[in-house]
Amino acid sequence: MESSNVIELKNIHYRYDRDLVLTNINLAVPKGAFLGIVGPNGSGKSTMLKIILGLQKPRKGSVVLFGQQQSKFREWERIGYVSQKANAFNTGFPATVYEVVASGLTKKAGLFRMIGNKRRPQIEKAIQAVSMEEFMDRNIGELSGGQQQRVFIARAIVSEPDVLILDEPTVGVDSKNVQTFYDMLERLNKELSITLMLVTHDIGTITNKVTHVACLNNTMHFHGSTEDFEQVKDNELSQFYGHDVQRLHHDHDHSNEAPTL
Amino acid sequence: MIQAIFEYEFLQNAFLTGLIIGVIAPLLGAFIVVRRLSLIADALSHVTLSGIAASLFLSKTFVVFNGLNPLWLGMGFSVAGSLFIERLRTVYKHYQELAIPIILSGGIGIGVIFISLADGFNTDLFSYLFGSVSAVSRSDLWLILAIAVTVISVVILLYKELFLLSFDEEYGKASGLSTRFLHLVFMIMVALVIAASMRIVGILLVSSLMTLPVAAAMRVARGFKQTIFFSIAFGETAVIFGLFSAFYLDLAPGGTIVLSSILILLTAIAFKKLQAMRK
Ligand SMILES: Nc1ncnc2c1ncn2[C@@H]1O[C@H](COP(=O)(O)OP(=O)(O)OP(=O)(O)O)[C@@H](O)[C@H]1O
Ligand SMILES: [Mg+2]
């Protein structure tokens, strides 16, 4: 039987080379939640996601996915992922948008199987969800950064995962498409009951949309429902970002861009 | 040559081998180029040289090794070299390209020692260096055919995994792929294809048959599958054209095949330029 939490972190500690980046992290993501993760640069948000995805091994603590210990977990197609550095790939790579999105089905299709024409409607649907159908046969390197980001979002949702993990997915996406994107996330969350984990610096937007909030700064400062977060919000955020929280509400697009490069 | 092919077994061997490597070298080459591993292919071909030289030395010195096909030892060295490169790449995480000069010079060093132990160059060795139309034996052909069948099957069966490994390794890992294992399988295939191709194009020019057709294909193709198909088409054209001219002009096929590939590459570049100008 699956527990009601799709993802659980228990007492996670992690260091790269020197100092601890994550200390004693506990996190529980209930099924169907839309969790917003906030925290300043270098606070360990991406690292925490990588630990969930098995890309980094924690020094201490345990990761439980769909009620199973991570080491025993095999159904990775149930978790979709858009990394923060998604468009730091080799831009000369000769792959079309269609091929890139199709590669999101690698695990789902199964070993030794082709991703054939039978799956074409599914792939096209994901491409339409991010409004990129016009560019389907274009090489990925011939797109703008924001368009590339949308392709990577399509790749993450094509396998119809149960959980979608997004690390600052809207960096470089223009405001019209950011809006469409958040609307799409809400639809995925409400209609298809996909659980969402979203790292963002865009605090204004997320408090309108998310059901849960996690504030991270090497340790977990706050983790709970959005209503509870509203009570402590200004206090928590000024601790992290300095007292000028208001500036962040307006300036988030610019503050996001630099660290991803 | 068409007539001669029916008459002489050695020409049949050379021609069929050429057709086979015209497929498998660019096929793997497409993955090698997009993964920026071209220099690794070069390094491995030099390791293959040391295997060939060792084999020639052994068969000259010890009677037991007399009938040994040098391809076997070349293949063995090449595969061992690919495993060694992987070790080095994990040791020098941030300077992965260091593995290349280490392996490359190591390969030549060992090769040179065996060559001098065997009392210098002979025509046999020359044919391994630059390829030959007359030196391919039936047993070479069978071995190369077996390598081709293996490599093509693995690429077809693991196509989507290899694509993901090449395009976005981290995402591959996050989807639960064992990227280390996959990479190892890939490197072993590269080692095998290098050993197979060397009979026709020669050790020094093997990597060019893996990279030049791909470089041309990337100019004109759209998407990765198309890049692979164009690469193979260009590779075959270069091999056929190169073998014919090598036969008629009595030249080493390695040279003529590489020159044909360069000609194709220049044509592709010019074609693309013209296309851009007309728009
Ligand atoms: N590959 C790495 N090697 C060593 N240290 C690293 C590595 N990646 C991250 N770090 C360090 O770990 C800390 C946390 O990094 P992480 O990328 O998780 O932060 P983040 O919260 O995602 O920040 P941002 O908002 O800038 O994306 C940082 O101090 C960073 O310097
Ligand atoms: Mg980050």
pLDDT digits (tens, 9 = 90+) for A53-76: 999 999 899 999 999 999 999 899
Report the nearest atom of ligand 1 relative to the CA of A43.
Answer: 21
> For residue A97, which amino acid is it?
V
Distance CA A73, CA A192 (A): 23
Whether residue A201 contacts residue A248, with contact meaning beta carbons closer than 8 Å, is answered with yes
CA torsion angle B27 B29 B33 B38 (round to 10)? 170
Distance from residue A45's CA to the centre of ligand 2 (Å): 5
Question: Is A107 close to B224, i.e. CB distance below 8 A?
Answer: no
Question: Is B170 close to A55, i.e. CB distance below 8 A?
Answer: yes
Q: Which residue of A has its CA nearest to B169?
A: A89
- Cβ < 6 A, ligand 1 pocket: A 16-17, 21, 39, 41-47, 84, 259
The predicted model scores a pTM of 0.88
Torsion over CA: B150, B28, B214, A115 (sign): positive
Question: Is B223 close to A99, i.e. CB distance below 8 A?
Answer: yes
pLDDT confidence of residue B148: 96
- Looking from the CA of A101 toward its CB, the CA atoms found within 13 Å total 33
Please list the ranges in chain B whose pLDDT falls under 50.
none
What percent of chain A shows pLDDT beyond 70? 86
> For residue B47, which amino acid is it?
V
Q: Is the pLDDT of residue A250 over 60?
A: no
Burial class of residue A199 in the structure, from the number of CB atoms within 10 Å of its CB (0-12 exposed, 13-18 middle, 19+ buried): buried
Closest CA to A101 of A64, A71, A69, A140: A140
Torsion over CA: A58, A62, A64, A68 (sign): positive
pLDDT confidence of residue B63: 80
For range A111-140, the mean pLDDT = 90
Which residues lie below 8 Å from residue A158, measured CB to CB, with a gap of 6+?
A: A101, A102, A104, A105, A122, A123, A126
Return the higher-pLDDT residue of B235 and A246: B235
List of chain A residues whose C-beta atoms are within 8 Å of the C-beta of residue B157: 112
Distance CA A46, CA A84 (A): 7
pLDDT confidence of residue A164: 94
Distance CA B238, CA A106 (A): 34
Q: How confident is the model at residue A102 (pLDDT cuts 50, 70, 90)?
A: very high
Distance CA B73, CA B54 (A): 8
Gap from B230 CA to chain A (nearest CA, Å): 12
Q: How confident is the model at residue A201 (pLDDT cuts 50, 70, 90)?
A: confident
pLDDT confidence of residue A3: 59
| Alpha-carbon distances, residue B13 vs A125, B20, B75, B135, B201 (angstroms) | 50, 11, 19, 9, 14
pLDDT confidence of residue B152: 97
Q: Is the pLDDT of residue A77 over 60?
A: yes
Question: Is B223 close to A96, i.e. CB distance below 8 A?
Answer: yes
Q: How confident is the model at residue A245 (pLDDT cuts 50, 70, 90)?
A: very low
Q: Is the pLDDT of residue A248 over 50?
A: no
Whether residue A132 contacts residue A97, with contact meaning beta carbons closer than 8 Å, is answered with yes
pLDDT tens per residue, range B84-110: 888 887 788 777 778 888 888 999 999
* Residues recorded for chain B: 279
Closest CA to B199 of B250, B257, B153: B257
pLDDT confidence of residue B1: 66
Q: Are strands A60-65 and A68-69 parallel, antiparallel or unpaired?
A: antiparallel
pLDDT confidence of residue A261: 32
Tell me the three state secondary structure of residue A259. helix
Q: How confident is the model at residue A209 (pLDDT cuts 50, 70, 90)?
A: confident
